[in-house]
Amino acid sequence: MPETAPRIGRPPVTSRAQIVAAARTLIDRDGWERLTLRRLAAELGIGTTTLYHHVRDREALLLLLLDDHFAQVELPALPDDPEGRIVAASAAMHDALASWPWAAEVLTADGFIALVGDHALTFVDTIVAAALDAGRSHEPAVAVFRSIWYYTVGEILVRASSARVRADGWRPDFEAHLARLDPARTPGLATIGGRWVEYAARDTYPEGLRALVRGLLG
């Protein structure tokens, strides 16, 4: 946009890009959980309130960070057939998210719509376009993407949650809870028992994805 409008008023002391950059610095130095708006403002040498003139929300900032991460991820070479393209793009999307330690936190910030930032849309589009190619009409194509998206985010969240459960103390609690189930009332779960937790920790994304895509397109 080469529009240089009248440019009236006090000039901004900070840009959105600077904020994102400072946030990344802060995260790399002190860790994700120490990223607060106050600390971020201090890092930039501005008042905390000022952040709100550049970013709607803490959540909006997180989405900017997520998109910033997606900007550095490349879509791999894709197969020709639609199904293969969907699988490859989904796996790339999954890996991009899984390599981001704080993805779980951001992904649960606001559901699943606004989350799709500018750069992530490349991945989204590949999947939607492939579903269209495979003969789906508009609404079903979007539905295909959504199912894949749920599965992708879900598997990441479950694994993150499983890690947190292991780190805190209450993994024994949960396993004990499973073990204490009444086999008459919940025979299936009683059969599985503590292995539930074990399974949740295992990354079986690719297999599940292939089955899912086959079902969606089949």
Partner DNA sequence: GTTACTTTCGGAACACGTTCCGAAATGTTT
Partner DNA sequence: AAACATTTCGGAACGTGTTCCGAAAGTAAC
Choose the stretch contacting DNA; rule: CB under 7 A; options: 2-10, 66-74, 80-88, 179-187: 2-10
Task: Name the DSSP letter for residue 13.
Answer: S
Interface with DNA, residue 13, by CB under 7 A: yes
Q: Kindly tell me the number of DSSP H helices and DSSP E strands found in the chain.
A: 11, 0
Residues of this chain that bind a second copy (CB under 8 A): 104, 108, 110-114, 121-122, 124-132, 138-139, 141-143, 146-147, 149-151, 153-155, 157-158, 160-162, 164-165, 170, 174, 181, 185-189, 191-192, 195-197, 199-200, 202, 204, 208, 211-212, 214-216, 218
CA dist 52 → 27, 29, 38, 60 (Å): 20, 23, 11, 10
CB of 13 to DNA, least distance (A): 3
CB of 45 to DNA, least distance (A): 8
143 binds, among a second copy, DNA, none (CB under 5 to 8 A by kind): a second copy
Q: What is the sign, positive or negative, of the torsion defined by CA atoms of 201, 207, 212, 213?
A: positive
| Helices 138-167 and 82-98: angle between axes, nearest 10 degrees | 30
Given a second copy, DNA, none, residue 185, with its beta carbon under 5 to 8 Å by kind, binds a second copy
